[in-house]
Amino acid sequence: MTEGASAAGLEVERLRVTRGGFRAGPFTFRAERGRVTSITGPNGCGKSTLLGSIAGLLPAVDGGVRFAGEGWSEKERTLVPPHQRSIGLLPQGLGLWPHLSVREQARLVGGGAEAIVEMAEALDLSGLLDRRPASLSGGEAQRAALLRAVAPRPALLLLDEPTGQQFPGTAARVREVIEGIAATGSTVLVVTHRAWPGASPVELFRRGGEPSGGAD
């Protein structure tokens, strides 16, 4: 990768990932700072696996991930552990901690009290901040997990189907919030089945195949 390319924010180069017996990749693409980049592709092509590997939660077997010019992983080596990457993650399974309220979860990841209230209002979660995940509906739980991901204002936001469980009206609000985060300079990577309006697309065509939207 060239020095000039590092300004792009996230750079993924020939990344190959394993998850159980499933091998995904190689993936090569860039995601710019201050923009939403959407990753689309059919079921089983490795979209969620790719996000897990960028976050440092799944081991890569080859290739590399760089962010803001800093190497995060190189081949099988993790250079920066997940908790030092300034990442906000909305995983497919949400991963909400059932013993903590929505507010406590957002505080725990480093969200400021005011930012949490502000973001909760934007996500229509104001009345739910002191509730625990078990008392939330599926859509509310997904927005709570999104709140936890965005509350610390991460430099890189990784979102797996962030509007998948939302009604159209709420989905539009969620999109606004995500685009607002991108506008503040964060790099936002969204895995989605449908195209994200205004986003830079990266399309993964076949199961574990090369992306066509990236610059490989």
Partner 1 sequence: MSAMKGEAGSRSEDPFASLLAVIVAGLLFIPALIWLGRGESAGELAPPAGMIEVLLRTVLVAGGGALGAWILGGCIGVLLAAYRAPFPLIRDPLLLSPFLLPSVVVTTAVQSWLAGGPLTPLIRGVPGAVLISTLQMAPLVMWIVTRSLRALPEEERLALRSSLSPAAVARQLGRRALPISARAAVLVFLLLVPRLEVPAYTGIETVGRRVLVAFTADGSDLEGWIWCVALLLLAAPLLPLAIRAIPSGRAPQAMGGTDPAAPRSLLATALVLLPAALPLVGLAGLAVDATGDGIAGGAEARRWSIALLRDLLRLAPLSILLSLIGWRIAVGIGDGVRARLLLALLAMPLVLPGCLPALIWIEGALPHLPRGLAETTLPLSTVQGLRFVAVAILLGRIADGSIPSAERAAARLLPPSVARRRIRLPRALPGVLAGAGLIFALLLGEVESAAQIAPPGRLLPAVELHQLLHYRYDVQAARLSLAIALVAGAWLLLLGALGERGGRRP
Q: Among residues 22 and 97, whose Cβ is nearest to partner 1? A: 97
Task: Out of 25, 26, 52, 214, name the contact with partner 1 by CB under 8 A.
Answer: 52
> Would you give the binding string for partner 1 spanning residues 141-180, x where CB under 8 A is met?
-------x--------------------------------
Measure the CA–CA gap between 53 and 67, rounded to whole angstroms.
13
In the DSSP assignment, the letter for residue 215 is: -
Residue nearer to partner 1 on the CB measure, 20 or 197: 20
- 101 and 131 Cβ atoms separated by less than 8 Å: yes
Instruction: With CA atoms as reference, report the closest residue to 9 among 54, 76, 75, 53.
Output: 54
DSSP tally for the chain: helices H, then strands E:
5, 10
- For residues 37 and 196, what is the distance between their CA atoms, to the nearest angstrom? 8
Nearest-approach distance from CB 184 to partner 1, in angstroms = 20
* 137 lies in the binding site for partner 1 (CB under 8 A): no
Residue 25 near partner 1 by CB under 8 A: no
**Residue 132 in the binding site for partner 1 (CB under 8 A):** yes
Angle 159-176-132 (CA atoms, 0-180°, nearest 5)? Answer: 60
* Count of residues of this chain found to bind partner 1 when the rule CB under 8 A is applied: 38
Question: Binder to partner 1 among 5, 58, 115, 117 (CB under 8 A)?
Answer: 58
